[in-house]
Amino acid sequence: MKKHNKYNTEVTGAEALILSLLDENVNDIFGYPGGAIMPIYDALYDYMDQLNHYLVRHEQGAIHAAQGYSRVSGRPGVVFATSGPGATNLITGIADAQIDSTPLVCITGQVASHLLGTDAFQETDVVGISMPVTKWNIQVTKAEEIAPAIAKAFYIATTGRPGPVLVDITKDAQFGKTNYEYKKCESIRSYFPHPKINVDEIKKAAELINNAKRPFILCGHGVLLSSAERQLLAFAEKADIPVASTLLGLSAFPPQHPLYVGYLGMHGNYGPNLMTNKCDVLIAIGMRFDDRVTSNVSKYAKQAKVIHFEIDPSEINKIIPADIAILGDAKEALDLLLPEIKTQKRKEWLQGFDECNKIEYEKVIKNAVDPESEKLRMAEVIDKFHKISQGNAIVVTDVGQHQMITSRYYKFNEPNHLVTSGGLGTMGFGLPAAIGAKVAKPNEDVVAVLGDGGFQMTIQELGTIMQSNIAVKILVLNNNFLGMVRQWQQLFFDRRYSFTEMKNPDFIAIAKGYGITGKKITKRKDLQEAIFEMLESKDAFILEVVVENEDNVFPMVATGASVSEITLE
């Protein structure tokens, strides 16, 4: 094995790439080899004692694993893929990372530069294809361009609003020779990732908050990305303001705190949705007013003054007009705001949320977690999982009913302990993302909560778990339906269940084929012991729980409705 020589030395372009990753302190790579990236894999062979490579079973598995890795570690996930189908198989995950602000560095091999544009074997214009869904991308055709491109890629991916970048490297650039020297990128002309915060706007915001009778904080993913959890808590406590979370903002605010009033959105809690249209000042921190949060924007918080904290200028006034816009990092902005805020008590305003919680408990939660039905319900499974794990697990979900149920009933004690696909809603995300999360945090419990549909989209990644001995726990809520689509078909399409019922395989037998222990349960009396067994396993473990097949997720804000028209049943 080679040692990284930091002195100027002649190497191939492929080795220059590997050395660049080491200079960026990369430890882990997720990838799949192929013809156009073979020189890079050959160079990697000499550095296997310094870089861990995880061989996935499909490039989509690599990109989602890198997302899970990044979301729990705070470091950019790194992906290798070959040209053509290898590169195009990354696109869904890249789009997912772009909309959910996840920093990734994707390295794709490309045909030799003299073949570009000739429709050569496994040639695609991956730069053109990925341009709409990357923060930045580039094609490199010379060996000496590789190190500067990688330095720029890491800088862009991790600064400002994070996101995915892609570096496409032709095969001749990988074979070519260059004198290796690495200089970290610290600035780029015309790129200003850290806007200077306008102190006058901070003072205006403070005045509005100090004079408010019914202020309300909406906490988004940006709080976690800027590590502003402590500042948010101090602000909320000083001003006695209720805090609700978006899907990706979950775990940014302590769930047991008296000021935490729940989860926003289509299947969020009753109080936060209803009270959005009763507050007088709406304080949005690191969130982008996604349609799943606002529903009908023409009926959204029309009575309120809106203060929007946001690092990406394109998000300000895009959906909900801001009365005061504070452009900049959330942590820095809250640090400036806190001294300007007066200590207050808002007992009457908070009481309204308490009353909503009582209504939701009686009409929805009580029967969901302690059902009278014979069959197990999704909510009781997640509630039991939460209680047994004491809210300490890193939970990675796929997309669907189980995702909404997990978001509602699992209470995350630590920041960045929920990993889920928010903006794009990518089925198949959960299993590979859990692999990446476990690689990043090997000493923590990582549990993938999956539906039977999404699990089968990337089920082949059980092979990655087997080969790399990754102790991911898998909890499959099996209702033999594409549950979220079926719920809509029931409520809005007269129960016309068009192609949503699923005949599923024996998941436990499949897992056994990959050397993974598992158990399937159908009875309530077996649930607690089975969850204990899953969590206590030192190796990967799959627990399949057969749940009621026509269970619905409530509350619900129907498409086109106002958030105050949220229904409980």
Query: Would you name the residues annotated as active-site residues?
Result: 59, 121-122, 171, 484
DSSP line for 437-491? HHHH-TTS-EEEEEEHHHHHHSGGGHHHHHHHT---EEEEEE-SB-HHHHHHHHH
3-state secondary structure (DSSP) of residue 181: coil
Q: Give the whole-angstrom CA distance, residue 472 versus residue 540.
A: 5
- Helix/strand/coil percentages in the chain, nearest 5: 45, 20, 40
> Which H or E run contains 79?
strand 77-81
Per-residue b or e along 520-543, where b marks 16 or more CB atoms closer than 10 Å to that residue's CB = bbeebeebeebbeebbebeebbbb
Considering only CA atoms, which of 142, 143, 193, 144 is closest in space to residue 165? Answer: 193
CB under 8 Å to 168, separation ≥6 — which residues?
87, 108, 109, 110, 126, 127, 137, 138, 139, 140
CB under 8 Å to 519, separation ≥6 — which residues?
508, 530, 533, 534, 541, 542, 543, 544
Per-residue b or e along 440-467, where b marks 16 or more CB atoms closer than 10 Å to that residue's CB = bbeeebbbbbbbbbbbbbbbbbbbbbbe
Category of 518 on φ-ψ map: left (φ > 0), alpha (ψ -120 to 50) or beta: beta
Q: Give the whole-angstrom CA distance, residue 180 versus residue 294.
A: 51
Q: Give the whole-angstrom CA distance, residue 365 versus residue 359.
A: 9
Both ends of the chain: CA-CA distance in Å?
Answer: 63
Q: What six digits make up the tokens of 461?
A: 């990644």
Report the DSSP beta bridge partners of residue 105.
Answer: 78, 165
CB under 8 Å to 108, separation ≥6 — which residues?
36, 37, 80, 81, 82, 83, 86, 87, 90, 126, 166, 167, 168, 169
Q: What six digits make up the tokens of 373?
A: 């039905």
Per DSSP bridges, beta strands 177-180 and 9-12 are antiparallel
Considering only CA atoms, which of 22, 119, 130, 147 is closest in space to residue 78? Answer: 22
Judge contact between 379 and 408, C-beta under 8 A: yes
Considering only CA atoms, which of 56, 32, 5, 33 is closest in space to residue 434? Answer: 56
DSSP 8-state symbol, 7: S
3-state secondary structure (DSSP) of residue 300: coil
3-state secondary structure (DSSP) of residue 554: coil
Sign of CA dihedral 505, 506, 508, 511: negative
Helix axis angle, 13-23 relative to 146-158, nearest 10°? Answer: 30
Report the DSSP beta bridge partners of residue 164.
Answer: 104
